[in-house]
Amino acid sequence: MKRLIGVLAASGVITLACNGDRPVAGLPQSAVQTQILLTDAPFPYSSVRSVDIQIDRIDASPTGDSLSNGGSQSWVTIAAPHRRYDLLALRNGTTTLLGKTALSAGQYQEIRIVLDTDSSDVLAADGTPIAVNWGWSGIVTVNVLVQNPLQIAGPGATITLDFNVDHSFAPNASGGFNFLPWILATATGS
């Protein structure tokens, strides 16, 4: 929070405190009382036909610090589908199998997904492409949020990756989307 305030102050933004209808000290009399609102703008599902993501590989690591051991981390590939998935087809509890693997029992603290943004796209309801600012092009590695270590202890273990479209594709001023990957990993049945 201190960093955010420092950035705002450094860029010349004036922060106003809410204090009723009284004028804020130091502002000219022509200052306009302004409300600041917060909302969660929903993803425009009705105007989008598909959100297709090319997933090349999913890796897991038992260590939680990618900087440990001089930056060398033990990763194991747990799925390598090399295909596209329409995230809109996976809403409301619907899942699809990305792969199966024999995984050593234990805790896994990090998951990463390797995506190909050049083979991924968002299509409007009429089938035309919608511009996406992916932030990079080609093959990219995205870290998945693992709130609690994933415990893999026995047969029937399942790792679920929840790719949140609402948070991952933020509408931008140009009518397209900014890609801000928001993916949560959980483990069950172990």
Q: Is the pLDDT of residue 170 over 50?
A: yes
| Structural domain contains residue 7 | no
Distance CA 167, CA 138 (A): 21
The answer to whether residue 113 is domain-embedded is: yes
Percent of the chain clearing pLDDT 90 (strictly above): 58
SS3 188: strand
Q: Structural domain of residue 146, as residue ranges?
A: 45-188
Answer whether residue 29 is part of any domain. no
Residue 103 lies in a domain: yes
Does 149 reside within a domain? yes
Which residues lie closer than 8 Å to 106 by C-beta, 6 or more apart?
Answer: 62, 151, 152
- Which pLDDT does position 104 carry in this prediction? 87
Domains: count for the chain: 1
- Please work out, in degrees rounded to the nearest 5, the angle formed at the alpha carbon of residue 14 by the alpha carbons of 11 and 20: 160
Checking if the pLDDT of 100 tops 50, the result is yes
92 within a domain of the structure (yes/no): yes
Check: CB of residue 115 under 8 Å from CB of residue 58. no
CA-nearest of 144, 150, 148, 147 to 181 is 144
Three-state DSSP at 26 gives coil
In a domain, 81, yes or no: yes
Q: What are phi and psi of 8, to 5 degrees?
A: -65, -45
Flag whether 142 is in a domain. yes
Q: What is the pTM of this model?
A: 0.74
Model confidence over 10-41: pLDDT tens digits?
334 333 344 455 555 666 777 667 667 665 56
Phi and psi at residue 89, to the nearest 5°: -80, -5
